[in-house]
C-alpha cells in the first residue's frame, strides 16, 4: 500500500503512511528491529566488497 510522492526537486519516491508502518511493526517486530540497523554502503565500502 505504497504511495507515490513527488518532492520539490521533482523526484518521485514511494512511501507509506504512518498507520501502515505502525501496523507492520506490530505484526513483524523482529523484522522491524532488524530493519532499524540497515544502512547503505559508502562508496569506499562498495569498492572493498567488489574485489
Total number of domains in the chain: 1
- For 32, the domain range is 3-50
What pLDDT does residue 4 have?
A: 94
The answer for residues whose C-beta is within 8 angstroms of residue 25's C-beta and 6 or more apart is 32
Residue 25 CB neighbours (<10 A): 14
Evaluate if residue 51 carries a pLDDT over 70.
no
pLDDT tens-digit map of 1-46: 789 999 999 999 999 999 999 999 999 999 999 998 988 989 998 8
User: Which stretch of DSSP H or E encloses residue 6?
Assistant: strand 3-6
Distance between CA atoms of residues 3 and 36, nearest Å: 21
Q: Quote the CA–CA distance of 49 and 51 in Å, as a whole number.
A: 5
pTM to 2 decimal places: 0.57
At 48 the pLDDT is 87
Amino acid at each position: 500500500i505504497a504511495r507515490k510522492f513527488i518532492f520539490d526537486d521533482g523526484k518521485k519516491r514511494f512511501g507509506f503512511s504512518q498507520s501502515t508502518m505502525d501496523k507492520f511493526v506490530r505484526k513483524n517486530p523482529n523484522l522491524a528491529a532488524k530493519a532499524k540497523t540497515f544502512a547503505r554502503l559508502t562508496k569506499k565500502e562498495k569498492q572493498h566488497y567488489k574485489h
